[in-house]
């Protein structure tokens, strides 16, 4: 037995799942209690360490999510929106911390998390890295300081297997820019340019998505005016920056009151305190 926080990892076979498992098992501050995969996955029933072509870790991959979460203190979830909503219900039932790094969630899906946050601690962010969350704050401040003479463009690049666009991080940066200008992103977002689109509408926030190779994550926020450009940039060269942030969130959430939080709360950067 251990008094260390017990961590369950969803999507164990995925890129983030493997990274998280490696970091948890190397940590002295937490312990891996469950590795979760979808029903029928070839890893189910196997020791997760051996499935990852390493030494046995004593944790068998399971598709029984409810039982896995009953024996955990936190679940870390980088999966897909529909799966995340299912995990949220079970995490709330178990009363454990749910750290959500899933991207591509619609406004309706995010809103659907609200009832679960009344019973459990939910920490959700479009990006878990310290650097990106600092970039978010900088973006909001620069947007607030500059008027609409400065066009805002958010350019993001990811690997060729990423299924959603713009990325969750790009949207997070867009929300920050919109907040800085005191507008709704839904009203000023410009995501699709193809053909004869006409001139750019003043005040719009543009998005461009690049997909290729094994790019982990690159995000630029460009403020472009006549005669000058200001570019804020974050480049992730190692996927572990996101995993380390998620684990930090899982630890921070222990003993926290039920509610909806984000990485700014975890990092002590929230304007709400």
User: What is the domain partition of the chain in residue ranges?
Assistant: 6-124+239-266, 130-236
Q: Which fold has domain 6-124+239-266?
A: Rossmann fold (3.40.50)
Report d(CA 183, CA 178) in Å as an integer.
5
- Is residue 98 part of the annotated active site? The answer reads no
Mean pLDDT of the chain: 95
Q: Which of 41, 159, 162, 234 is catalytic?
A: 162
Q: Which two tokens stand for residue 162?
A: 């990423």
Quick one: pLDDT band at residue 131, thresholds 50, 70, 90?
very high
Model pLDDT for residues 204-213, shown as the tens digit of each residue: 999 999 999 9
Instruction: Kindly list the strands in the beta sheet with 217-225, ordered across the sheet, starting from the edge strand earlier in the chain.
Output: 189-190, 205-211, 151-158, 217-225, 228-236
Model pLDDT for residues 170-182, shown as the tens digit of each residue: 999 999 999 999 9
Q: Are 27 and 74 in contact (CB under 8 A)?
A: no
Residue 272: its pLDDT value, please?
Answer: 58
Model pLDDT for residues 93-129, shown as the tens digit of each residue: 999 999 999 988 999 999 999 999 999 999 999 889 9
Residue 1: its pLDDT value, please?
Answer: 46
Model pLDDT for residues 50-80, shown as the tens digit of each residue: 999 999 999 999 999 999 999 999 999 999 9
- Is residue 162 part of the annotated active site? The answer reads yes
Q: Which of 41, 98, 158, 234 is catalytic?
A: 158
- Comparing CA positions, the residue from 140, 138, 168, 121 lying closest to residue 266 is 121
Domain 130-236: give its CATH superfamily.
Dihydrodipicolinate Reductase; domain 2 (3.30.360.10)
Largest CA distance in the chain: 65
Q: Say whether pLDDT at 141 is over 50.
A: yes
Residue 271: its pLDDT value, please?
Answer: 64
Residue 126: its pLDDT value, please?
Answer: 84
Q: Are 13 and 45 in contact (CB under 8 A)?
A: no
């Amino acid at each position: 037995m251990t008094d260390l926080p017990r961590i369950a990892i969803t999507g164990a076979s995925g890129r983030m799942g493997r990274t998280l498992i490696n970091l948890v098992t190397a940590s002295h501050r937490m312990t891996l209690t469950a590795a979760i995969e979808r029903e029928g996955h070839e890893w189910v029933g196997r020791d997760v360490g051996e499935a990852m072509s390493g030494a046995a870790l004593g944790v068998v991959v399971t598709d029984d999510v409810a039982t896995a979460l009953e024996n955990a203190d936190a679940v870390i979830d980088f999966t897909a929106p529909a799966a995340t909503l299912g995990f949220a219900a079970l995490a709330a039932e178990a009363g454990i911390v749910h750290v959500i790094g899933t991207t591509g969630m619609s406004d309706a899906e995010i809103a659907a998390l609200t009832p679960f946050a009344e019973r459990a601690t939910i920490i959700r962010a479009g990006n878990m890295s310290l650097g990106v969350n600092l970039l978010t704050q900088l973006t909001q401040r620069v947007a607030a300081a500059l008027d609409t003479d400065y066009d805002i463009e958010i350019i993001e690049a990811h690997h060729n297997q990423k299924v959603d666009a713009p990325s969750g991080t790009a949207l997070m940066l867009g929300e920050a820019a919109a907040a800085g200008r005191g507008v709704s992103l839904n009203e000023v977002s410009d995501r699709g340019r193809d053909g004869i689109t006409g001139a750019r509408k003043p005040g719009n926030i543009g998005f461009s998505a690049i997909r290729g190779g094994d790019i982990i994550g690159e995000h630029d926020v460009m403020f472009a005016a006549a005669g000058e450009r200001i570019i804020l940039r974050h480049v992730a060269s190692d996927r572990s920056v996101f995993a380390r942030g998620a684990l930090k969130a899982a630890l921070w959430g222990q003993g926290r009151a039920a509610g909806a939080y984000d990485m700014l709360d975890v990092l002590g950067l929230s304007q709400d305190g």
